[in-house]
Structure 1
Amino acid sequence: MTTEQPGTAESATATYVFAVCRQLDPAALTGLAGLADGFPVRGLRFGSLTAVVQHVPAAEFTEDAWQQRLSDREELEHCARAHHDVVTAAAACGPTAPLALATLYRGDERARQALEPDADRFAAVLARIEGHAEWGVKVYLPAAAPGPGSHRSGGGAGRAYLERKRGLHRAREQHHDRALQTAEDIDTALSRLATATRRLRPHGPELTGEKHRLQILNATYLVSSVRVRRLLEAVAGLRHRTGADVEVSGPWVPYSFVGEV
């Protein structure tokens, strides 16, 4: 999040920056609400590049106001959705580098001054992602069977209980090893088709809501448009070969591959 104290008594608006691109058709932004009613989403030139911006009421977008806004789940979702809608519309015109949510400056001129020193870095990012999209892949396997209960009994029954416990422990270890190997195999196969990849931490059951499936891979791939068909064919083959549930989402604006811009 990049914020400045955006307003003074004399300044009614601040400038919110959604993204940076090379070319922008103003018609692509027509009708977008952005983050503030009554202010159009528009382009702001700096050098050979264009920032996608919107005036917002300065008093409603101070740093304290942002902190309150982002701590409210519904408000956070609203802001993130509005930000994404603008970025997606701009990306329809050509390669687009999204900026972080809540990138805000005191005005257009201050935004230009802040962005211009990074013009070369923006240009390099736009060249790298041109003709590409981001594809997310999540892979699941059935969860391991639960262990034996805590009931104990003497003699042979106790020994049988311990043997069952050892057997289940070995089975869990084998299941874990298989999960790791399956995740590596799938990631390796898909990475061959990608220009860049990012492995993210797999989500646990508390986030996925899945009690009977274990997420073993959570990754995202920057894929050229000419390789998308091969990517989807590879996913179908990996489902069949590994028996894993492989979920694919995309194409997305390549948020994960624009670096810290």
Structure 2
Amino acid sequence: MGEQQEIDLTRPSAARVYDYYLGGAHNFAVDREMARKAIEMWPELPLIMQANRAFLRRAVEYCVDAGIRQFLDLGSGIPTVGNVHEVARAADPGARVVYVDNDPIAVTYSRTILGDDRQTAVVRADLRDPGEVLAEARSLLDFEQPIAVMMVAVLHFVGDDDRPADVVAAYRDAVPPGSALVVSHATRDGQTDRADEHKDLYRRRTATPMTMRSRAQVAEFFTGYDLVEPGVVHLPLWRPVSADDVDERPERFAGLAAVGRKR
């Protein structure tokens, strides 16, 4: 009951707006209003979000193929079709996933959907507090075995004042060699004007303003990791399933993607 009382329905939630972009039903009028405003400014936004979701699927499949069976999904948002546990279990039914989010609605829906699934856990916590997150995650994940730390479309909501590189490093130091870091991140590269307008909209309307970063800045998050080919690239260019999946102008997706393996 306490979590429900903390829900602010007067302001859009980044998690619920993202759910709307993906065609989900777990959003409110205030979220849909903001999403429609954003799409007016940037008509390709739903395609960008779908490209991000497709990257998540390919990255999870890569991790499973590489022998990783545990996932720590930070800023997991509201469950939609193709969530991490669904993708991972399609390849290995024994895969385990801990979902972490600080949005009470995202957590409530996640717990409802996952029910008594003993191979998943849902934690309400802020990824900027690695100590709390890791303590909770240890109830399900074995930190002696490789873990994929998922930071998909979430680090751009961690401002520079919160020292995101230190946050990422704390998770890196907690997992063993062979673990993975999966990141997608909003960028101004190639879409400066639209990206700035989008960032300003989030700053004015939500409690989670965006900090867009360059390719070099995103690459810095992978200190201590070996970047998996093709490195830090625009979303459609990270290991596309086929040449038909590669857009002629991948920069228009305004998102960077990368996966690294811990040394």
TM-score range (shorter-chain normalised) is under 0.3
TM-score (norm 2): 0.21
**Bigger proportion of residues as strand:** 1
Q: Which has the higher contact order (CA 8 A, sep 6+)?
A: 1
TM-score (norm 1): 0.21
Bigger Rg, which one: 1
